[in-house]
């Protein structure tokens, strides 16, 4: 206790000081709390996604022998591929299953047995094989087909065996079959390669991100071709060549505003101009790429300008002083110095475009595609939109797929951004 009786050490003053210090601590605690909330939110989000999605990378397959009976598939015996397409492959699969479980005779039980495996995946698999090689008819094949999503969920422990039969999506009888098949090793869990190669499907066990991933790549390619050169060009002009007048001021304000316009508005623009006015195809990566390109344009311009401005004036002046023209000074000296920064900015802008969803809903990229797009004018969808479409399904298997799609998207974004940061640290110059 200070014994001085000055006003700063009076009992009242000390009390006040204590109060002020307490306030200081509170304030600091609020700051920590705020950071804590943000970190917790991120942790919560990531754990939701990881917790739900990691399982989707593993899937249960069933190995089965199927006899491609000629009398069922090709009664005429001509082996015409187009005729073979229409044959009854369901029957083939069913026969194989009934043979495996000969004691199943009841019709309802037979249907349930068939539901253990992916009911459209298995016939389609054999159809494709026979179409590619008609000589297979008459032989016996060993194939691996995905189990149905319910069986998959059961084996992953997401469907409880303890609840009564009428309250779960899988019957007691089916559980006994599945257990028997697991016992003999006919049903096994494997890495789910189908998730990366398949397109969208009505059946959760067959749905994959292959199609939408390719769609994303194509869209991004168009976006990059549009936004990066034009954005860099605009930034160079504004930074070096633009006169100082009202019109240029307007362009600058316009670019800043454009960067803050809601992305959905760009989608409406794409719908009205590119699709309805110019008549480009709906749902195509070309339109999506153009829309995202316009969306990314202000970002690229702003990032490029920031890097150009950071290059010291003396570099340009040095070039000018030894007789280079203005264009030469800028393109041979200033822009190369800003190169790494421009590259980083462009890559980050592309990463943003990759995660964009809303504008693509407007131009019809939210559609059901069962084929991988072959070109930028084909109907396609992109990864975030695919995630959006799956997110509407509340069923466990779809939640898993959606989360797995998100994991892939986040990983790709992390890779791209990480690469950009690595590039910046490695190449960037400090003046």
Partner 1 sequence: MNTVLILALVVAALTAASFVFARRKARAQIASIGKGAGLGFHSQPGYHGWFSGIISGLGAFLVMIAGLLTGLGLPITLMAMLVVAVIGSFLASGRIQKDFRARTYVEYFIKTLLVVCSLIAVFTTIGIVLSLLFESLRFFEEVPFLDFITGTQWSPQTAMREDQVGQSGAFGAVPVFTGTFLIMAIAIAVSAPIGLMIAIYLSEYAGHRTRKIVKPVIEILAGVPTVVYGFFALLTVGPAIRALAETMGYSVPTQSAITAGLVMGIMIIPFVSSLSDDVINAVPQTMRDGSYALGATKSETMTKVVFAGALPGIIGALLLAVSRAIGETMIVVLAAGRAANLTGNPFEAVTTVTVQIVALLTGDQEFDSAKTLAAFALGLMLFIITLVLNFIALIIVRRYRARYD
Smaller CB distance to partner 1: residue 23 or 108?
A: 23
Q: Does residue 32 bind partner 1 (CB under 8 A)? A: yes
Window 270 to 289, contacts with partner 1 (CB under 8 A): 271-273, 276-277, 286
Shortest distance (Å) from residue 123 CB to partner 1: 30
233 makes contact with partner 1 (CB under 8 A): yes
The secondary structure of residue 117, as a DSSP letter, is B
**What CA–CA distance (Å, rounded) separates 166 from 27?**
56
Q: Least distance to partner 1 from the beta carbon of 402, Å?
A: 6
Maximum Cα–Cα distance across the chain = 115
Q: Which of residues 290-329 bind partner 1 (CB under 8 A)?
A: 294, 297-298, 301, 325-327
Residues 150-179 that bind partner 1 (CB under 8 A): none
DSSP state at residue 166: G
**End-to-end CA gap in the chain:** 54
Output 193 or 367, the one with its CB closest to partner 1: 367
Q: Are 54 and 180 in contact (CB under 8 A)?
A: no
Residues 349-368 that bind partner 1 (CB under 8 A): 351, 354-358, 361-362, 364, 366
Give the nearer residue to partner 1 in terms of CB position, either 141 or 242: 242
Supply the minimum distance, in Å, between the C-beta of residue 359 and partner 1.
Answer: 9
52-55 CB contacts, 8 Å cutoff, 24+ apart: 52/399, 52/400, 52/402, 52/403, 53/400, 53/402, 53/403, 53/404, 53/405, 53/406, 53/407, 54/403, 54/404, 54/407, 55/156, 55/158, 55/400
Pick from 14, 16, 24, 77: which binds partner 1 (CB under 8 A)? Answer: 24
Closest CA to 205 of 251, 157, 146: 146
CB of 388 to partner 1, least distance (A): 5
Residue 266 engages partner 1 in binding (rule: CB under 8 A): yes
Binding flag, residue 411, partner 1 (CB under 8 A): no
Per CB under 8 A, the segment of 64-72, 88-96, 166-174, 403-411 that binds partner 1 is 403-411
Binding mask 47-76 for partner 1 (x = CB under 8 A): -xx--x------------------------
Residue range at the interface with partner 1 (CB under 8 A); choices 82-90, 203-211, 308-316, 386-394? 386-394
For partner 1, the closer CB: 125 or 349? 349
207 lies in the site for partner 1, by CB under 8 A: no
Residue 196 CB, nearest distance to partner 1 (Å)? 19
Within 189-334, residue ranges assigned H as helices are 194-197, 210-236, 246-260, 263-269, 285-310, 313-321, 326-328
Lookup result for tokens 């003999």: 184
Which of 14, 39, 54, 411 is in the footprint of partner 1 by CB under 8 A? 39
Our CB check for partner 1 shows the closer of 69 and 393 to be: 393
Alpha-carbon gap, residue 341 to 429, rounded angstroms: 9
Residue 35 vs 78, nearer CB to partner 1: 35
Select from 81, 262, 312, 336 the one that contacts partner 1 (CB under 8 A). 262
Residue matched to tokens 């997401």: 158
Between residue 333 and residue 352, which ones bind partner 1 under the rule CB under 8 A? 351
**Shortest CA distance to 353 belongs to which of 418, 269, 294?**
294
261 binds partner 1 (CB under 8 A): yes
Least separation, in Å, of the C-beta of 230 and partner 1? 5
Could you tell me the smallest distance in angstroms from the CB atom of residue 59 to partner 1? 21
Closest CA to 412 of 361, 370, 350, 346: 350
221 near partner 1, judged by CB under 8 A: no
Please choose, from the candidates 258, 262, 268, 260, the residue with its C-alpha nearest in 3D space to the C-alpha of residue 291: 268
Binding status of residue 251 toward partner 1 by CB under 8 A: yes
The answer to whether 284 and 377 are in contact (CB under 8 A) is yes
Q: Taken in order 272, 274, 278, 279, is the CA torsion positive or negative?
A: negative
- C-beta of 136 vs 391, nearer to partner 1: 391
**DSSP H or E segment with residue 140:** strand 140-146
Q: Nearest to residue 281, comparing CAs of 377, 375, 211?
A: 377
**In the set 13, 42, 415, 427, which binds partner 1 (CB under 8 A)?**
42
Write down the least CB distance from residue 426 to partner 1, Å.
18
CB 314 within 8 A of CB 322: no
Question: Of residues 15, 18, 28, 190, which one binds partner 1 by CB under 8 A?
Answer: 28
Burial class (CB in 10 A: 0-12, 13-18, 19+), 235: buried
Q: Does residue 31 belong to the site contacting partner 1 (CB under 8 A)?
A: yes
Dig out the tokens for 255 from the structure.
């670019």
């Amino acid at each position: 206790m200070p014994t001085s009786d000055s006003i700063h050490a009076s009992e009242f003053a000390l009390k006040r000081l204590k109060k002020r210090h307490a306030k200081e601590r509170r304030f600091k605690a609020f700051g920590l709390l705020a950071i804590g909330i943000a970190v917790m939110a991120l942790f919560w989000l990531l754990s939701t996604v990881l917790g739900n999605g990691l399982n989707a990378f593993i899937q249960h397959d069933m190995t089965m022998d199927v006899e491609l009976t000629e009398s069922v598939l090709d009664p005429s015996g001509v082996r015409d591929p187009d005729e073979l397409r229409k044959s009854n492959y369901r029957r083939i699969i069913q026969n194989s299953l009934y043979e495996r479980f000969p004691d199943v005779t009841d019709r309802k039980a037979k249907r349930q047995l068939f539901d253990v495996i992916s009911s459209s995946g298995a016939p389609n698999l054999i159809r494709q094989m026979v179409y590619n090689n008609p000589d297979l008819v008459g032989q016996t094949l060993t194939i691996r087909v995905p189990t149905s999503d319910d069986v998959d969920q059961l084996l992953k422990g997401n469907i409880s065996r303890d609840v009564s039969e009428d309250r779960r999506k899988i019957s007691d009888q089916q559980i006994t079959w599945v257990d028997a098949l697991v016992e003999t090793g006919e049903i096994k869990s494997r890495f789910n390669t189908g998730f990366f190669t398949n397109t969208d499907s009505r059946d959760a066990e067959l749905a994959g991100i292959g199609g939408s991933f390719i769609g994303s790549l194509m869209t991004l390619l168009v976006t990059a071709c549009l936004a990066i050169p034009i954005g860099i060009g605009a930034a160079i002009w504004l930074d070096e060549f633009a006169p100082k007048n009202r019109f240029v001021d307007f362009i600058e304000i316009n670019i800043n505003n454009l960067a803050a316009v809601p992305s959905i508005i760009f989608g409406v623009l794409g719908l009205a101009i590119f699709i309805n006015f110019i008549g480009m195809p709906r749902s195509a990566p070309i339109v999506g790429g153009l829309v995202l390109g316009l969306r990314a344009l202000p970002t690229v311009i702003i990032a490029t300008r920031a890097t150009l401005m950071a290059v010291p004036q003396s570099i340009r002046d040095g070039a000018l002083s030894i007789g280079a023209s203005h264009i030469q000074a800028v393109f041979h000296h200033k822009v190369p110095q800003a190169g790494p920064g421009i590259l980083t900015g462009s890559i980050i802008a592309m990463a943003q475009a990759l995660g964009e969803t809303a504008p693509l809903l407007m131009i019809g990229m939210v559609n059901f595609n069962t084929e991988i797009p072959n070109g930028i004018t084909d109907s396609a969808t992109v990864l975030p939109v695919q995630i959006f479409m799956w997110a509407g399904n509340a069923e466990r298997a779809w939640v898993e797929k959606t989360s797995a799609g998100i994991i892939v998207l986040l990983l790709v974004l992390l890779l791209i951004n990480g690469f950009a940061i690595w590039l910046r640290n490695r190449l960037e110059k400090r003046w």
